[in-house]
DNA sequence: CATTATCTTTGGACCGCTCCAAAATTTCAA
DNA sequence: TTGAAATTTTGGAGCGGTCCAAAGATAATG
């Protein structure tokens, strides 16, 4: 029983098929340049012996592996898990190898910080391309990566790293949807609770400001900054607002986690403030939470990422937008004049 | 700018230090067997050139790498992220390399399934040990792994794979805490919503049954099975119970996700049923949810895992228990006689 | 049919490291 | 001081692949 896991090598397959090891190698790297006759012989032999290429050897020899590295910024954020799942399904279907890894760690206090080794070690593996899901601090890190490594950023920092292509929701439209919805419900005093990391957060801020202006609410523009992008931050900042001398009637949050934290604060305070999230994660759909939230078009984002990952000729520095939609739920209420 | 990422090799360091490449290799694998004089020379040269060992080459040559593989069963479950974070903090502190990866994918319908490639590919990397966080379907898979590979399972399947050591909460105590608490609140008709995967779920079931019996509630014992361990499953099963001709007054759920789904159902139904979760994830602490939940002692579990991972002589087939505690919140109410 | 162009196949060097047996050096006891 | 034992250091042979120049086989051309 318990097979010794001594996997056959390319040379054994070659012997079995009666060809050279180089031929076997070719069959597994560029099969089209091998005659059909031999290809079949090799494939049969490989099948018989249960051969599968060795990752390590391949990466070492070619100085580039045959797998995709997926870096999830933060395991704590369900949005990322959802996007990751979508993409992984596609990759599995295509039979592509990939590694999924996470860059952020949360300390005892729940504060996220960057795990420096992770990025380093995944790059050591020489992936053929890198997919970053979400925003990681210190984008400069990405700049220092091998130049030929294609980088795709899903739902993360839009600018700042020229070599990467980015797929994300159209933040401006997203925030316009939010503001318009709130305005329609009679709100004027609408605060935006902004994200903590530059990129996306900045775009949402300007989307918010623009939408406010277009609704003639220029004088109500108020942006609150946050320490991190999680529920604790939302909770804290919301409390500050509640205790301020001018609490808003509605708040447009950077993401669902923020919103959930903010909602927790309003419940605790026994005060009613309309809250909108962003990401439409599974949490927002729960009856306990029932959060109006912007659906960023995750499906579309994931599909586009997978397309980019799967296509051969990768174009750097392109921006792809998914169209967000607003999912209204009970957390936003018509203002009682 | 943009360094060409041509990393120096062991040979270049050797040349710089005026020693053989083997010596350099030794310095980085068993430094104690190298004279101090040369060791310093090598270290200095390595420092000067910015040398760092190459993962791939090392794993390939030694048929075993110098890193730990962490397999998170399900990215969707915050419990796992929390445990993973704890462990990663320790590993980072010790300067140990590791890879974190996830085994489960959720399809469009939110149903989890096993990503077969993941386990395979991480093993291809020849980690020195494997840490599995949570329960994965098909534990048999683990049996087929290289025999010398130490396996540690955190908070997952307790039995079934003899070669692994397991660190988990004491399920029996956990469920006793739950049942005792509910009984104290006057509940009798207490249902247990069980987990979907064998291992842990089974132990919680027997813990529940035992506690019920000890409280003289043998005749009330009722275990409901679930399709998966997430909120959807909890929601579905709870609805079935609500619509049955004998809805319980309290439900002890397999985990927080189950409980949250169940809670969503009771809210929708406008019915009051006490709900208890398990795992005490950040979700249960949210004001919107406010779930009484068993804290499995994650800190303890994570610490123990890290200890095991970090120690040299690994003992197979050991079981380590963390002591759970009950965190009571608003989701459980004294029964109104 | 000879010659050239094109397509396949092959052996060998190499990727960066570990491991091992042998060589070189140091240590120790007689 | 000397030989044996113990400790360090070293070169070379892999690990399992890729890649490339050259060889062989096939197809196309005049």
* Longest CA–CA separation in chain A, Å: 86
**pLDDT one-digit tens code per residue, B104-131:** 888 877 778 888 777 877 888 888 899 9
Which chain B residues have a beta carbon less than 8 Å from that of A101?
Answer: 99-101
Q: What predicted TM-score, i.e. pTM, was given to this entire model? A: 0.87
Most A CBs within 10 Å, among B88, B125, B266, to test the A interface: B88
Of the spans A264-278, B65-79, B90-104, B124-138, which averages the highest pLDDT? Answer: A264-278
A319/B contact by beta carbon, under 8 A: no
**pLDDT one-digit tens code per residue, A202-219:** 999 999 999 999 999 999
Would you give the DSSP letter of residue B324?
Answer: P
Two tokens, residue B186: 């006057």
Q: Determine contact, residues B79/B256, Cβ cutoff 8 Å.
A: yes
Closest partner CB to B2 (pick from A2, A147, A231)? A147
CA A214 to chain B, closest CA, distance in angstroms equals: 34
User: Which tops the pLDDT comparison, A257 or A313?
Assistant: A257
Cβ of B125 near strand D (distance < 7 A): no
CA of B261 to C1' of C27 (A): 73
Angle between helices B55-62 and A55-62 (to 10 degrees): 130
Inter-chain CB proximity B56 and A125 less than 8 Å: yes
Inter-chain CB proximity A57 and B60 less than 8 Å: yes
Q: Confidence class of residue A4 from pLDDT cuts 50, 70 and 90?
A: very low
Residues contacting A32, CB < 8 A, separation 6+ = none
Q: Confidence class of residue B199 from pLDDT cuts 50, 70 and 90?
A: confident
Give the pairing type, strands A129-133 and A67-72: parallel
User: Rounded to an integer, what distance in angstroms lies between the CA atom of residue A243 and that of residue A266?
Assistant: 11
What pLDDT is recorded for position B245? 94
Would you give the DSSP letter of residue A164?
Answer: -
Closest residue to C15 (CA to C1') is A61
SS3 A271: coil
**Mean pLDDT estimate for chain A:** 90
Cβ of B61 near strand D (distance < 7 A): yes
Q: Determine contact, residues B96/B68, Cβ cutoff 8 Å.
A: yes
Q: Strand D nucleotides below 7 A of a protein CB?
A: 8-12, 14-20
**pLDDT one-digit tens code per residue, A71-101:** 999 888 889 999 999 999 999 888 888 888 8
**pLDDT one-digit tens code per residue, B148-170:** 788 999 998 766 667 788 999 99
CA B76 to chain A, closest CA, distance in angstroms equals: 6
| Mean pLDDT of all residues in B40-67 | 91
Inter-chain CB proximity B121 and A67 less than 8 Å: yes
């Amino acid at each position: 029983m318990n097979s010794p896991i001594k996997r056959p090598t390319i040379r054994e397959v070659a012997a079995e098929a009666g060809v050279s090891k180089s031929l076997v190698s070719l069959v597994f790297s560029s099969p089209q340049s091998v005659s059909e006759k031999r290809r079949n012989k090799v494939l049969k032999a490989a099948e018989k012996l249960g051969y599968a290429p060795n990752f390590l050897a391949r990466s070492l020899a070619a100085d580039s592996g045959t797998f995709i590295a997926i870096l999830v910024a933060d395991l704590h954020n369900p949005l990322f898990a959802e996007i990751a799942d979508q993409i992984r399904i596609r990759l599995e279907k295509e039979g592509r190898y990939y590694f999924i890894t996470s860059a952020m760690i949360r300390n005892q206090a729940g504060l996220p910080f960057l795990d420096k080794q992770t990025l380093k070690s995944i790059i050591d593996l020489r992936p053929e391309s890198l997919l970053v899901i979400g925003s990681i601090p210190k984008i400069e890190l990405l700049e220092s990566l091998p130049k030929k490594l294609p980088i795709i950023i899903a739902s993360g920092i839009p600018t700042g790293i020229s070599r990467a292509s980015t797929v994300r929701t159209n933040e401006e439209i997203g925030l316009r949807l939010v503001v318009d919805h709130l305005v329609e419900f009679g709100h004027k005093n609408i605060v935006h609770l902004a994200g903590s990391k530059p990129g996306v957060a900045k775009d949402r801020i300007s989307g918010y400001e623009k939408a406010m202006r277009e609704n003639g609410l220029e004088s109500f523009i108020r942006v609150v900054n946050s320490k991190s992008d999680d529920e604790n931050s939302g909770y804290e900042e919301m409390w500050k607002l509640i205790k301020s001398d001018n609490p808003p009637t509605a708040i447009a949050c950077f993401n669902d986690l923020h919103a959930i934290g903010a909602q927790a604060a309003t419940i605790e305070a026994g005060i009613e403030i309309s809250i909108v999230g962003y990401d439409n994660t599974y949490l927002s759909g729960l009856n306990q939470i029932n959060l109006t939230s912007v659906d960023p078009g995750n499906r579309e984002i994931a599909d586009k990422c997978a397309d980019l990952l799967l296509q051969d000729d990768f174009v750097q520095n392109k921006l792809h937008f998914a169209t967000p939609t607003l999912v209204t739920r009970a957390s936003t209420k018509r203002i009682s004049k």
